[in-house]
Amino acid sequence: MTTIRKGEAEWKGGVPEGSGSVSVQSGAFKGSYGFKSRMEDGPGTNPEELIGAAHASCYSMALSLALAQAGHVAKSVRTISKVHLEKRDGGYMIPLIELVTEGDVPGIDNEQFQKLAEATKTGCPVSKALAAVEMTLSAKLL
């Protein structure tokens, strides 16, 4: 079975003066993006924070599943995905993603939590899609 989800974006004008809009299929998010929101602290979103949001949500859900399968239903799993954008060799790239997660998981010890968190880092679907990028993980059991 294949599930297809769509994101859509449109850019108008040149760079840096142009502007864009981005939305998701479900209608849950629609926003603007531009050069200033990507390279500075301007209004709107940018591709890197959208990647971060997608990655953090996938990771949190996947870790919650792994914990439940191990017999420990999480009260919560909160993840931040820090997507680094750097200019290198005349172009921009994403060289690093830092995952920072906290889990409130009754009845689990830190060793098992760390093991499941690490396995999820490479196992969630978005992590697999981003496998070309170096990823680090900081996991804390609350």
Report yes or no: 43 and 32 within 8 Å, Cβ to Cβ: yes
Identify whether residues 24 and 87 lie together within a single domain.
no
Do 100 and 119 reside in the same domain of the chain?
yes
Same domain, 55 and 25: no
CATH of the domain at 92: 3.30.300.20
pLDDT value, residue 93:
95
| Residue-range definition of the domain harbouring residue 18 | 7-39
Whether residue 51 sits in one domain with residue 35: no
Cβ atoms of 65 and 77 closer than 8 Å: no
Radius of gyration of the chain (CA): 17
- Cα 5 → chain centroid: 16
Please tell me the distance from the alpha carbon of residue 89 to that of residue 101, in angstroms, as a whole number: 32
Question: What DSSP string runs through 60-81?
Answer: HHHHHHHHHHTT---SEEEEEE
pTM: 0.94
Residues 59, 98 within the same domain: yes
- If one counts the domains in the chain, the total is 2
Residue 12: inside a domain: yes
Contact status, residue 20 vs residue 34, Cβ threshold 8 Å: yes
| pLDDT per position as a tens digit, 32-72 | 999 999 999 999 999 999 999 999 999 999 999 999 999 99
Distance of CA 139 to the CA centre of its chain: 15
pLDDT confidence of 118, banded at 50, 70, 90? very high
Mean pLDDT score across all residues of the chain? 97
